Amino acid sequence: MFVQHHSTSSPALSTSIVKKSEDFELSILAKSSTKITGTLQFQYLNQNFSAHIIITPSTIQLKAQNAFEGILATAPIISNAELTHKNYLSNATLTQIGNQNIVWLILDFIHIYNLLRFKPSSILEIYREAFLQIKLANAGIIFGKVDAESPYANQMNSLLSQKLKRKHKYIIANPADLLVTFQNIIANYPLQISMLNKAKRVEPILN
């Protein structure tokens, strides 16, 4: 893995490239004292990746761009009570906790990317297993189109997370976006695999 972060200071933010380390490069598009939006760039297996990122004191969301734009990763939400002693963003400054969680979100992306690259059929298998469990009690749901705002979305996210851990030893920091991610991958699969084939000359098949 590429993640070996050793920074000990909290990086201040500006309006251009504001954070450049061996882990990632963060560029700011817009900012206020309580919200940062920007672009995150990082490398894995000698390939460059970019993602749109939104940072607030209590949340971080990473959305991969280009052919992998359906992959989402979200840091755990910090409660109002916890904000008194920890946060991701403080007075327009990325905190050490925020920095570390960005690294973890990149790892979450890498876990999903590796499934696409090496075991693409497992994505469909894991989703199908979780879907069938939920469908037993919710007969009206449609494969690949489960509403992320529905009452059973959290169950789907939890099941997907459990199955990723059991089958592939992947531990996702926050499973909140797994349902959306899996459904986007299934919907956009041909484009993503085309991108993988160009980059690595692999030819996985989703059964």
Query: What is the residue whose two structure tokens read 């969680």?
Result: 101
In angstroms, the CA 6 to CA 17 distance is 19
User: How many Cβ atoms from other residues are within 10 Å of residue 18's Cβ?
Assistant: 18
Angle at which helices 96-118 and 178-200 cross, to 10°: 60
Q: Classify each residue of 56-83 as buried b or exposed e, where b means 16 or more C-beta atoms within 10 Å of its C-beta.
A: bbbbbbbbbeebbbbbbbbbbebeeeee
- Picking from 9, 112, 13, the residue whose alpha carbon sits closest to that of residue 53 is 13
Q: Is 149 exposed, middle or buried (0-12, 13-18, 19+ CB in 10 A)?
A: exposed
Q: Where are the alpha helices (DSSP H) in 20-63?
A: none
Tell me the pLDDT of the chain (207 aa) as tens digits. 333 333 334 444 444 555 566 689 999 999 998 999 999 999 998 888 999 999 999 999 999 987 677 899 999 999 998 988 899 999 888 999 999 999 999 999 999 988 888 888 888 899 999 999 999 988 889 998 999 998 889 999 999 999 999 999 998 888 999 999 999 988 877 655 555 555 544 333 333
Task: State the pairing for strand pair 25-31/17-20.
Answer: antiparallel
CB 42 within 8 A of CB 63: no
Amino acid at 144: G
Q: Which residues pair with 75 in a beta bridge?
A: none
The domain spans of the chain are 17-200
Does this model's pTM top 0.75? My answer is yes
Ordered strands of the 25-31 beta sheet: 17-20, 25-31, 36-44, 47-55, 60-64, 72-74
Write out the H or E segment, with its range, that includes residue 149: none
